[in-house]
Amino acid sequence: MKKLIAIGLVFIALAGGVPPVHAKGDDFNDVVKLIEHFYHVKHQGVPLLARAGIKTATTVARISGGRGRQLAEAGSVKVAYFEDQDFKSNADYLRFKSAITAALAGKWSPLIQVASPKEQEQTYIYLRDAGEKFNVMVVTLESREACVVQVNLSPSTLAKLMQNPDEMGNAITIDATQD
């Protein structure tokens, strides 16, 4: 039953205009593809269906620009999840860092890059000036899951987050994906 609800919710979400992950010439999509190729994993476009129920509905509302958004501009959120997959199989994070740097070079500015090989965690935050707003891309990889989030932030929101860039990735990811 839960599965049916989840599928239904996902269908509604997709019909409601969740931003497509696969758009041509899209750096977000390029990063998602890079992770898939590098770690031999597959993403889910909408945060995990299996959580279903209210949680999924709320998350979907957030993704499609619904209530409760605090940081990202309405309708600006793109999320790709990788859950319960193996990110240890290719533990060479330096190669991954080089690959993502090359993929976004000249288009995005690296703001913060944190890697903890021992904990098998990596976080990358990239920024791009988009006129009156900023595009921010947060890439987080752990041993069994990963998440790519892209949002539009107003300069004033970004200015506030910039004071503590260590927490910026978490704040954006949580805002985009959780209740």
Binding region for other proteins (CB under 8 A): 94, 97, 109-119, 127, 129, 155-156, 158-160, 162-166
Q: Provide the minimum distance between the beta carbon of 49 and other proteins in the complex, in angstroms, as a whole number.
A: 34
Q: Provide the minimum distance between the beta carbon of 73 and other proteins in the complex, in angstroms, as a whole number.
A: 15
Closest CB to other proteins among 81 and 134?
134
Q: Provide the minimum distance between the beta carbon of 114 and other proteins in the complex, in angstroms, as a whole number.
A: 5
Closest CB to other proteins among 20 and 155?
155
Q: Across the strands, what pairs with 129?
A: 134
Please tell me the distance from the alpha carbon of residue 152 to that of residue 129, in angstroms, as a whole number: 10
Closest CB to other proteins among 116 and 178?
116
Closest CB to other proteins among 86 and 166?
166
Q: Provide the minimum distance between the beta carbon of 27 and other proteins in the complex, in angstroms, as a whole number.
A: 18
Please tell me the distance from the alpha carbon of residue 103 to that of residue 160, in angstroms, as a whole number: 28
Helix axes 155-162, 165-177, angle to 10 degrees: 130
* Beta strand 146-153 pairing with 133-141: antiparallel
Please tell me the distance from the alpha carbon of residue 154 to that of residue 60, in angstroms, as a whole number: 22
Is 113:124 a contact under the CB 8 Å cutoff? Answer: yes
